[in-house]
Structure 1
Amino acid sequence: MTKSTNDNPHAAQTKILVLGATGPTGRLIVSQALARGYEVTALVRSPEKAADMKGVRLVVGDARDEKTMRQAVTGQDAVISALGTPASPFKQVTLLSTATRALVNAMKTEQVSRLTAITGLGAGDSAGHGGFLFDKVIFPLLLRNVYADKNRQEAVVRESGLDWTIIRPTVLNKKAGRGNVRALTDLSGLHGGTIAREDVAKFVLDQVRSDTWRHRSPLITW
């Protein structure tokens, strides 16, 4: 992995691709990455939503299209997926898994190995740890279809053969970051939680140059 200019002024910039860059967490990832001296590419469907992103290379297109994805992935050192999708109580959701398949194929073709993907509390073995309201009301009524696709997305990542990390934040809030989080794989006794998007962005970016959580799926919370 190349070092960022913050670490070595004579080294090439670390190049990262951010998916979901115009979302609330994605925007924080982009701004923090730029502050670290990274060279940032964002794959966006609507360039108008990214018009205020200064210093970012934009690739415009559909994340489900592998040709577009290859264009965005080429030359990157790492990829961060902050893709999200609205609650969908009645319709099946396929965006996350379909886009992730296109991403994995593009990364393999372009020989980019480092992938960090954000899913959420309720995915995989974190299901049932959201507390009564989340587990018994919000999840089954609003998020069941979204999380079915998050589970498919996680399976695609796990089976990719890439150097992956899956990050599952608890319920996101807009508060100021605390600068530190708890990263857990043993969820016994955990029933819900919250975390600032700002802290999620920091933790996600820390994985670009760390192998601490490689091939693991930590839940992060305050």
Structure 2
Amino acid sequence: MNLLLLGATGRVGRYILEYALADGHTVTVLVRSPGKLEEYVLKYGRQLQIVRGDATRPEDVTRALEGGVAAVISALNTDGTTTLSVNMALLIRLMQERSVARLITVGTAGILQSRIEPGLYRYESSETRRRSTRAAEEHRRVYELLRDSVLDWTIVCPTYLPDGERTGIYRVEKNVLPEGGSQITTADTADFTYRQWESREYIGVRVGIAY
């Protein structure tokens, strides 16, 4: 199976890449700095297909989608810009043109519904202590683009993301953060995200994930 992975050099993306390659899948990655993935090239060879480019450039995203991609997984970071929303608008259009329906992306718990103020996103409510809402607002734009699309999408929404090992043991809940959840490691976030490409359980929803 050929999977397209965006954000493969990031904290969550590297784990997703490792899991997919270890399972024998072909993985196409769109990256600006291919040298960061040299260890994976040496270990997995042609199983890893690298497209050098920028996720906000239509021609680069188009090249990355070539070759019979079955699903797209995005672990892109917000990086303080509009990269996420620009890329998502491109993905929605280009995936529809190529009849690629399945998209899984990593968001943030800030765009889940608030438990105590259900009419608000968590980042708008008293549930969050974050002073800056810039990243959450960019993730919200991504969610709203996907919500209005015809893709089979899932947004994985982790809370605080420390580094740590994969346990495979965590709680998930549709559209809200599991009650009392305060953290989830990058490796376990990647574990759940990666598993969704072949699952239909969370189509069209945000999924809160925490221990």
Taking structure 2 as the reference length, the TM-score comes to: 0.86
Instruction: Indicate if the aligned counterparts of 2:112 and 2:176 stay in contact, CA closer than 8 A.
Output: no
**Which segments of 5 or more consecutive residues in structure 1 lack a partner in the other structure?**
1-13
Q: How many pairs were matched up?
A: 199
* 1:15 and 2:2 correspond: yes
Are the aligned partners of 1:129 and 1:191 in contact in 2 as well (CA < 8 Å)? no
* C-alpha distance in 2 between matches for 1:159 and 1:53: 36
Cα distance change of structure 1 residues 62 and 188 upon mapping to structure 2, 3 Å threshold:
closer
Q: Which residue of the other structure, out of 104, 122, 125, is the alignment partner of 1:128?
A: 122
Amino acid at match of 1:66: P
Aligned-partner Cα distance in 2 for 1:188–1:19: 25
SS in 2 for 1:217: strand
TM-score, normalised with respect to structure 1: 0.82
Q: Which residue of 2 aligns with 1:82?
A: 75
CA distance in 1, matches of 2:175, 2:145: 23
Task: Call closer, same or farther: CA 1:186–1:43 in 2, change over 3 Å.
Answer: closer
Amino acid at match of 1:80: I
| Structure 1 vs Structure 2 CA RMSD | 2.2
Work out which of the residue numbers 30, 41, 52 in structure 1 matches 2:28: 41
**Counterpart position of 2:117:** none
Q: Contact 2:4–2:64 at 8 Å: present in 1 too? A: yes
Percent identical among aligned pairs is 33
User: 1 CA distance for matches of 2:55 and 2:34?
Assistant: 13
Deviations 1:117-167 (A, max 9, x none): 1101111425437997x823xx223xx111111100111122220111111
- For the pair 1:185 / 2:174, whether they are aligned, the reply is yes
Judge conservation of contact 2:112–2:206 (CA < 8 Å) in 1: no
Candidates 135, 142, 151, aligned match of 1:153: 142
Structure 2 unaligned spans of 5+? 115-120
Q: 1:181 to 1:119 in 2, by over 3 A?
A: same
Q: Secondary structure at the residue paired with 1:213?
A: coil
Residues 130 and 191 in structure 1, CA contact (< 8 A), matched pair in contact too: no
Match of 1:5 in 2: none
